[in-house]
Structure 1
Amino acid sequence: MGRTNDHPGEQAADDPIRLLAIRDTPLSVDEVFRAVGDAAAGGTALFVGTVRDHDGGADVDALGYSCHPTAEAEMRRIAEKVAAEYPVRALAAVHRVGDLEVGDLAVVVAVSCPHRGEAFEACRKLIDDLKHEVPIWKHQQFSDGTEEWVGA
């Protein structure tokens, strides 16, 4: 039997957005991965953004994220756009706010699709658009005493 692309599993799910949140508590990769589980998905792409110990050649001592009250609504808008552009079976995104330490998870996003290429592309679109369009701001404090707001 030949494979056809009209099988329901090859299409986007009716409601693929499973988890969207902005939290002031530690994030869980396992929670996000479980949220995008789907029997019709042959590929799941997951991105984890962590706090690093440097930025732009300077050592980072402390970092905090804050957001505008519309941030979750903007996350939903972006998630809906990604789900409309790709055959997304399931999608999840969570972002942390508050004070974080080096190594902490700042953002976790995942997308499952019928095939791996679609999952990679959709996940990249999701994280890139989230970083560029959602009103979440990063405040970095450097070891030389300087500080910087990113995204503001």
Structure 2
Amino acid sequence: MGHGHDYMDSPGDPLYSFGHGLSYTSFEYSNLLIRSAADGKSCEVSYRITNIGNRSGAEVVQLYLRDVVASVSQPPMLLKGFTRIELSPGESRTTTFNLGAEELSIYNAGLERVIEPGLFKVMIGASSADIRLTGDFTL
């Protein structure tokens, strides 16, 4: 692609989406809770994951973020965190992602890294095409 570009908006779907993988069990996502800090510079995102299958297994949970009202054009989703969770059959766990300045900031038109106030969309799932929980928050 060259010229420093790292995002391409083109028609068609990839054969395998980012984060695609297979498991011998199934997982259920629930209880999304989003808390933004009063200082407007961080956010805590927690959720519950349960192994609803009958085998032990691991899931790589991915958190994507979209700055809905950014002053410069942004991709529809950016990977901002991921974690690998191993669960036995029937086991549940609540996990938290902490989003700080690095995850919430963008480069503005002046090429300065800034956290812009506004609406953010959170997406949590097993891959970029398999989003299980969505929510939003405002800074």
- TM-score, with normalisation over the residues of structure 2? 0.29
Larger RCO (CA within 8 A; separation ≥ 6): 1
Which has the larger strand fraction? 2
